Chain A
C-alpha cells in the first residue's frame, strides 16, 4: 500500500514533479481501481504523468492512441483471419481423414461444427492494447491517449471496459482482467466527452503549474541550469501566458526552452536571447511578435 506522500515521492524520484491534486488522484486510482480522466491544455504533462507513473511504479505501459475512426478491432481484439485461413489449408488432409469416417453429409457437418470453436479460440485472437493490458500478468498501466479524438461509438465501447474491466467477445464470452490496470485517459477538450464516461472516472484537471512547481520541474529536468535563470524563465513564460496568445506556451515549451538555454549556456534572460530563441516558445507568427515585444518590455 503506497500512501499519498509515497506516490508523490515516487513521481518526484522519476522526474515528474506532482502537486497534491495529482498525487491524490493517483493514490485514489490505485486503491479504488478507477480510471483517471485527465483534462487540461496541451503540453502540461498529461501523457507525461502516465509515462512517469509507469516507470515509477514499474507497471508496463500499454498505450492506446485514439484517432477518428478507431474501433474495437484496433483497441480491444481482432481475429487473425490470415492465420485461420492458413490453418484450414494446412489441416486439410487431417480434416479429410477426420471427416471421412462419417457416414453421410449430415454427420460430417455435425462433426465439423463440434470442432469449429477451435478456430475461434485464443489461438487466433489478436490482443489489442486494452485486452493486452487486461491479460497482462503484472499490473499494467493503460494509457488511453486523447480520447476526445475518437468517435462517440468508441466512447460507448469503452464504458464496459472501464467500469468492469472486462471485454465481451461474442465467440468466447466475457474475458475479465487478470489484474485491473491503472487506467489513465487524457483529453484536450476538443470535443465534449459524454457524462457516462466521465462518471466512471476520477476527474483530474491539470492546468498550468504554480510558479514554484514549474521552477522545480525545470530544475529537475535540467539540473545544470542555474536556479535564478530558471525562475526568470518561468516568470517570463507566466507573463507570456497572459498575453492571450494563439498557442500559449505550456510546460513542454518551458522544458524545450530550458534545454535550449542550457545548451546556449545562458546565465540571464535578455531581450536578445529571447528574440533568438523565441521560436521555441511561440508557435505562431503573431505570437512571435507579441512575445518579443514582451521581452523588450520586461527584460530591458
Chain B
C-alpha cells in the first residue's frame, strides 16, 4: 500500500500539486485506520490528507481517475452483467488507447478516450464527469484542439465582429461560443487573483515595516489609560499617537480602443481585482469619449462588464480614439472633483489619429497628481512613427513604461503603489524599506511557484494569451 500511495503522490507532484512527505505519511495512516472500503472512500481519504487547496481538487480527481484506472477496481454493489460491461468498456478503451489515430494532444487520458468509442448507457456517468473536467468542448475534441492552435499562433489583435473575419475563424468561434475572447476564463481570473494577492502581501509587509517604526510618536494619554485600566492605571502598555495615513488614491485612464484592447483587457481585470482588495481607485475608460466605470467595476461581475464595454454601450468603440479630445473632456468633467493627490495611470498607445494633441491638459492633470505614469504596449522604437504622440505626452509624465505581459503590468502597478506608500513614510523608514527590498532581490515569490516552471508565474493560460 505504501508503494501505491508513494506512486500516486509522485503522480500528483508531476501534475503540480505540492505534497509533502508528512502528508503522504498521513495518507498511509488514514488508509490504515479506515481500511480500503472502496474506490469512493479511498478517494475521500486520499483527498482529505493529500490535497490542501480547493483549486487542486479537480486536478486531484483527474489524476486519481487516471492513476487508478490502471488497477481494475471492483465495486461490490455491481452485479455480474455490469461487471462484464465494465470489462468490455475497459477493453475497448485499451483498444482505443493503442489505436494511433486517437492519440490527440489532449493530456487527459483515460476517461476522455471513451468518448470516442461507442457510447454505452453505462458511460453516462463518465460522460458527466467529463463535462465537469472540460466544460468548453461541447462540440467535440477536434475543433477545440484546432482552436487552441489557432489562438496560440495568432498574436494578432483579437477578432471582433466589427472587423472582417476569414471564414475559418468564424466557424471556429461558433465551435465554442463561450470563448469569444472578450470574457475571462475562471483560470485567468484565478491567476490574476493570485498575482494581485501576492502583490498585496508584499505591499502589506512594507506597510508593517513602516508601521512598527511609526509608533514613535507622542504619548496618547487617553488611550494609554484605557489600555491599562486593568493594571490599575500603571502604564505597562503604552499607546502612542500615530499620524493618520492617507489611503493611496489611484486614477486610471484606460484606452479601450481596438489597437490596445489586449492590454486594456488585463488592465481592467487587474483594476477589478484591486478594487475588491483595497485602495481608492477611480477608473475611466475612453476611446473618443471618456466614461467613469468605478461603480461598475465594483458592482458587476467582470465578464459582464467586459461584454458591455465590448458592445460599445459605455463608450462608442466604432470611432477612432482621440487622446486630445479625451483629455479635454476629462478636464471639463472630472478633473475638478478628484480628491486628494491621486496617482495617475494612463494606459494607451498615444495614437491620436492625427487629431489635436491638447497636451497642455496633461500639464494641468500633473499639477493635481502626485505621480503620473503612462503605460504603453508599444516598443520605444515605434513611438515616433505615424500618429503616435508618445514623445509629446511622455514629457509630462513621471514615467513611461512599456508593458507587454500581465507580469509586467502587475510589477509596474506594484512599484507604483509602493512608491505611493513610501512617499508618506518617514525618511528613516524609506531607507529601511529600500534595504529590505534589496535584500528581497531574489524574489521570495519563487517559493510559491510550482516546480518546473522556472520561477515564472504559474502558467497564466495555455493558449499563450497572457502575451499581448
- Determine if A21 and B52 form an interchain contact, defined as CB atoms under 8 angstroms apart: no
Complex Cα gap A196–B299 (Å): 35
- Determine if A205 and B197 form an interchain contact, defined as CB atoms under 8 angstroms apart: no
B339 contacts the other chain (Cβ, under 8 Å)? no
**Closest A-chain residue to B19, C-beta based?**
A199
Closest Cβ of chain A: how far from B119's Cβ, in Å?
Answer: 25
**Among the listed B23, B232, B299, which residue makes an inter-chain contact with A286, where contact means beta carbons less than 8 Å apart?**
B299
What is the interface of chain A mostly: helix, strand, loop, or mixed?
helix
**Among the listed A24, A199, A202, A244, which residue makes an inter-chain contact with B22, where contact means beta carbons less than 8 Å apart?**
A199
**Closest B-chain residue to A36, C-beta based?**
B48
* List of B residues within 8 angstroms of A201 by Cβ: 52
Number of interface residues of B (CB under 8 A): 30
B214 contacts the other chain (Cβ, under 8 Å)? no
- Determine if B299 and A32 form an interchain contact, defined as CB atoms under 8 angstroms apart: no
B34 contacts the other chain (Cβ, under 8 Å)? yes
What is the interface of chain B mostly: helix, strand, loop, or mixed?
helix
Complex Cα gap A195–B23 (Å): 12
- Determine if B48 and A195 form an interchain contact, defined as CB atoms under 8 angstroms apart: no
- Determine if B52 and A28 form an interchain contact, defined as CB atoms under 8 angstroms apart: no
Complex Cα gap A191–B52 (Å): 14
- Determine if A82 and B231 form an interchain contact, defined as CB atoms under 8 angstroms apart: yes
Interface set, chain A 51-102, CB cutoff 8 A to B = 81-82, 85-86
B18 contacts the other chain (Cβ, under 8 Å)? yes
A25-B48, A204-B48 known; A195+B29 contact, CB < 8 A: no
- Determine if A195 and B232 form an interchain contact, defined as CB atoms under 8 angstroms apart: no
Complex Cα gap A20–B47 (Å): 12
B123 contacts the other chain (Cβ, under 8 Å)? no
**Among the listed A81, A82, A203, which residue makes an inter-chain contact with B53, where contact means beta carbons less than 8 Å apart?**
A203
A34 contacts the other chain (Cβ, under 8 Å)? yes
* List of A residues within 8 angstroms of B231 by Cβ: 81-82, 85
- Determine if A205 and B26 form an interchain contact, defined as CB atoms under 8 angstroms apart: no
* List of B residues within 8 angstroms of A31 by Cβ: 33
B278 contacts the other chain (Cβ, under 8 Å)? no
- Determine if B57 and A28 form an interchain contact, defined as CB atoms under 8 angstroms apart: no
A198 contacts the other chain (Cβ, under 8 Å)? yes
Interface set, chain B 27-63, CB cutoff 8 A to A = 29-30, 33-34, 40-41, 44-45, 47-49, 51-54, 57
* List of B residues within 8 angstroms of A4 by Cβ: 34
- Determine if A20 and B40 form an interchain contact, defined as CB atoms under 8 angstroms apart: yes
Residues of A within 8 A of B (CB): 4, 20-21, 24-25, 27-28, 31-32, 34, 37, 39, 81-82, 85-86, 189, 191-192, 195, 198-199, 201-205, 244, 246, 286
